[in-house]
Amino acid sequence: MARTCLAVVLAAGDATRMKSSKSKVLHTVGNLPLIAHVTRAAASAGVGKVALVVGRDAGSVTAAAGIGIEVPVTPVEQTERKGTGHAVLMARDVIAEGYDDIVVLYGDAPLISPESLAAATAKRAGGADVVVLGFRAKDPTGYGRLIERDGELVAIREHKEASDEELAIDFCNGGVITFSGSEAVSLLEAIGNANAKGEYYLTDIVEIARARGLRCVAIEAPEEDMMGCNTRAELAEIEAVWQARARHAAMLSGVSMIDPGSVFLSFDTELGNDVVIEPNVWFGPGVRVGACAVIHAFSHIEGAEIGAGAMIGPFARLRPGTELGEKAKVGNFCETKKARIGAGAKVNHLSYIGDAIIGAGANIGAGTITCNYDGVNKHVTEIGAGAFIGSNSSLVAPVRIGDGAFVGSGSVITTDVPDDALALARARQETKPGRAERLREKLAAIKALKKNPSSGQQG
């Protein structure tokens, strides 16, 4: 029979050191709010419900916590800040619903992995009443130390209260605690506040549990899993770790990155086998790239679906709603938005394609613009299969260019062009022999006059 587990996620902090107009846990890593990273890890580890302790921006935090998970999220408000033990006890009614395991997580620690959480609950299932996740710190200064004896955890000692012998310990408290659901409320209620700050510390639960004859243990997790965020500098450090993990996973799955450190991924980026990514590429949310596609350097992509074998960039921007068919091309200094570009179609140079449907095999010449906005509404441009649009053309939507049609370079197209038709919409060229020399003489005289205005005055 499967064990039941409740995650109590603490997300009520004021984020004073972030100096932000929004809750700390709404800041993002990999374009996903910190709180969502935590709840997604919990859900992946088998948690059946989340009790979310909220304060500032409660509605937004609750909505963010539910991103991408199917387990229910129940918000509980903490109106006073009296320490971590007090915060967890705010979820008393949810805890009392009855769970085998309670795991306490922190909404500002987004790197916690499902594997670490699963290891903690497995240890609980093996007979431990309280399980604390710890880590071996390169520099343990400031961290609470995990004091062990005979394979059991006997106490969590805060740095400022530790003896010299205890300060030599590098096994530190990561903050994540799993304990028995049947004992949870009783243990939490027993936490006192007889300390310098007058706060209720969750860490006291270890000594309380041991006094009752319960077994407490600590297990080791990677230090990175425990990283918390209090400042924007720490947020950047967490982003760097998350990106390194995401890149590594992508490369192991069959993606080639020439300079991995310059590629930035989002939490939902999907990359097919044999995709090649050149340096300095940014993926925003909602990007899916098919197998064997090539993303050239300095491209910026978000909300786009890129077909197998397609080629992007360099210096291309694909905005939300872009859909590229197989082996389509969007080249250097091009921008697309809400554009469906068919298989084998080419948008190679210096073009803007927005609110458009482009047929298979069409060729869009350099400097082409779909004029999609009239100042109030957006309109669609349709370009048929195999059509050829000459360079420097402006297509004023709503307009349709038929299959196999040709548009001459420099044209401004304002009406539909039938299939296989040729459209020219530009002034007729005039050539005047000998005029170039006379024009140069005139321009030189004007320039000389500007340099010496007095030369043009009569004596």
Whole-angstrom distance, CA of residue 53 vs CA of residue 91? 7
| CB of 175 closer than 8 Å to CB of 109 | yes
| SS3 track for 290-348 | CCCCEECCCCEECCEEECCCCEECCCCEECCCEEECCCCEEEECCEEEEEEECCCCEEE
**DSSP secondary structure, 376-418, as one string:** S-B--EEE-TT-EE-TT-EEESSEEE-TT-EE-TT-EE-S-B-
Q: Is 296 among the catalytic positions? A: no
| CB of 184 closer than 8 Å to CB of 102 | yes
| CB of 319 closer than 8 Å to CB of 301 | no
Beta strands 171-180; 101-106: pairing state: antiparallel
| CB of 37 closer than 8 Å to CB of 241 | no
| CB of 287 closer than 8 Å to CB of 302 | yes
Whole-angstrom distance, CA of residue 407 vs CA of residue 6? 64
Pick the catalytic residue: 37, 159, 248, 349?
Answer: 349
The continuous run of DSSP H or E covering 11 comes out as strand 5-11
| CB of 75 closer than 8 Å to CB of 62 | yes
- Give exposure, 80-98, as e/b (b: 16+ Cβ within 10 Å): eeebbbbbbbbbeebbeee
Check residue 8 and report its DSSP letter: E
Whole-angstrom distance, CA of residue 432 vs CA of residue 281? 50
**How is residue 132 written in tokens?**
């604390």
| CB of 341 closer than 8 Å to CB of 323 | yes
Length of the chain: 459
Whole-angstrom distance, CA of residue 428 vs CA of residue 378? 31
SS3 percent helix, strand, coil of the chain, rounded to 5, is 25, 30, 45
- Give exposure, 382-413, as e/b (b: 16+ Cβ within 10 Å): bbbbbbbbbbbbbbbbebbbbbbbbbbebbeb
Whole-angstrom distance, CA of residue 388 vs CA of residue 15? 56
The continuous run of DSSP H or E covering 148 comes out as strand 145-149
| Active-site residue list | 349
